Chains A and B, each alone.
Chain A
Amino acid sequence: MLVDMYSKKVFNMAYQFSGSYQEAEDLTQDIFLKLYHQLGKYDFEKNFTAWLLTLVKNYLIDMYRRTKLEKRQRDDFDKHLHSVSAMDNPESDLHEGENKRILWEGLNRLSSDIRMAIVLKEIQGKKYEEVAEILGLPVGTVKSRINRGRLQLATILHDKKEKIHGL
C-alpha cells in the first residue's frame, strides 16, 4: 500500500535531487527501509505526506553530505526525462529542451539546501508553506533560498546560452 502510493513520489524526488536514475533507485530502497523502521514514530495528528517527505529530505541531504552527490555526473536529460515530454511544437520544443537540459545540469551547481528547496517548490510545484513544513524552516528562509536558487539558475542559463550562441 505504501509502495503503491508513495514509491513514485519518493523516487522522483530522489531522481530530481541526485540526477542519477540508478542512484535514485538505490536511494528509494534505502528510504523505504528507513520508512518501515520509523513508522512507529509517526504522529497520527500530522500530515503523513509532509512527514514522509521530511524523512526523504533528511535522508537525501545526509547522503549528499556523506557521499558528495554533487561531484557526480547527472544522467543525460534526454535519457529519462525528454522522452516523456510531449512534442507538439518542434521549434519551441527545441528551445524548451535546450533550457531544460541546461537547468537539469545546473541543479548540480546548487548547494544541497537550495537544490532541495528548488526541487520541492519549482519541480514538484509545492507551495512555500508546504516546502517550509517539509524543510522545517520559516517561510521567509524558504523564500530566500528559492530566490537565490532561481537567480543562480537564471545566471547559469544566461552563461550557457551565451556560450552556445557565441560558438
Chain B
Amino acid sequence: MVCDKIQNLLSPYVDGELTPEAKAEVDAHLSSCRECAELLSLLKIATASLAAFPEVEPSPDLKARLYAIPDRKKKFRFSLDFLVKPALQPVFAAATVLLIIFSFYMFGPYKNDIDKSVNRQIHRGYSQIERLFSKAGSVTDSLGAYANDVLVSLKKINPLGKDED
C-alpha cells in the first residue's frame, strides 16, 4: 500500500513538483525500499530515453503528395460534402417521410379513390369560394347604398344650428 502511494508520487517527484513534506516522505521511503528506488531509476531512464528519440524526415515522395493536395481539393471544391452536415438531417428525415407517403399514394390500391376524393374536395372548395365572392359582391352593393344615405344625412346636419341662408 505504501509502495502504491509512493509510486504515484514518482512522476511529480521527477518533475520537481512535490511539496517539501511530500518529497521528504518519498525520499524516506526510497532509502528503505529497493523496489521503488529501482522503479524511480527506470522511470528516469525512460523519460530521458524518450526525450532523446530523434525526429525523422518524411520522404520526398510524401512531401510531393502533400503539395499536390490543394490542387486536388480545388477540383473537388463543389463536392457533395454539404450533404453530410448535421443541420440537414431533419430535412432528410422529413423528405424520407414524404417520399414514403408519396410511394404509398403512387403504388397503393387506393390511388383512384384518393384522386376522386381530392378532386371532390377541390371542386367543393372552388364552389365555396365562388359563393363567397358573390356574397362579397352583394355586401359591397349594400355598403354603397348605405354610404350614399350617410352622405345625404351628413349634408343635412347643421352642427352650429345656424340658418342656411
Report how far A143 CA is from B56 CA in the complex, Å.
Answer: 27
Contact B11 A96 (CB under 8 A): no
Question: Contacts A143-B11, A158-B39 known; A103 to B56 CB distance under 8 Å?
Answer: no
- Our pick among A3, A99, A143 for the contact of B49 (Cβ within 8 Å) is A99
Q: Which residues of B contact A24 (CB under 8 A)?
A: 58
Q: Classify the secondary structure of A's interface with B.
A: helix
Q: Which residues of A contact B51 (CB under 8 A)?
A: 122-123, 125
Determine the residue in chain A with the shortest Cβ distance to B9: A147
Determine the residue in chain A with the shortest Cβ distance to B50: A122
Is B47 among interface residues, defined by CB-CB distance under 8 A?
Answer: yes
Contact B38 A33 (CB under 8 A): no
Determine the residue in chain A with the shortest Cβ distance to B43: A154
Is B109 among interface residues, defined by CB-CB distance under 8 A?
Answer: no
Chain-A contact segment, one of B64-72, B92-100, B110-118, B121-129: B64-72
Q: Classify the secondary structure of B's interface with A.
A: helix
Q: Which residues of A contact B65 (CB under 8 A)?
A: 29
Is A17 among interface residues, defined by CB-CB distance under 8 A?
Answer: no
Report how far A122 CA is from B54 CA in the complex, Å.
Answer: 12
Report how far A118 CA is from B50 CA in the complex, Å.
Answer: 9
Contact B43 A25 (CB under 8 A): no
**Interface bits A130-154 vs B (CB < 8 Å: 1, else 0):** 0000000000000100110011011
Question: Contacts A33-B73, A103-B46, A157-B42 known; A3 to B56 CB distance under 8 Å?
Answer: no
Contact B66 A7 (CB under 8 A): yes
Contact A85 B54 (CB under 8 A): yes
Task: Give me 14 A-to-B residue pairs in the complex whose CB atoms sit less than 8 angstroms apart, sorted by A's number.
Answer: A3-B66, A7-B58, A12-B56, A32-B66, A33-B73, A37-B73, A80-B56, A81-B54, A100-B52, A123-B53, A153-B46, A154-B39, A155-B39, A158-B42
Given contacts A122-B46, A122-B51, 8 further A-B contacts (CB under 8 A): A24-B58, A28-B58, A103-B49, A104-B53, A143-B11, A151-B10, A151-B43, A158-B39
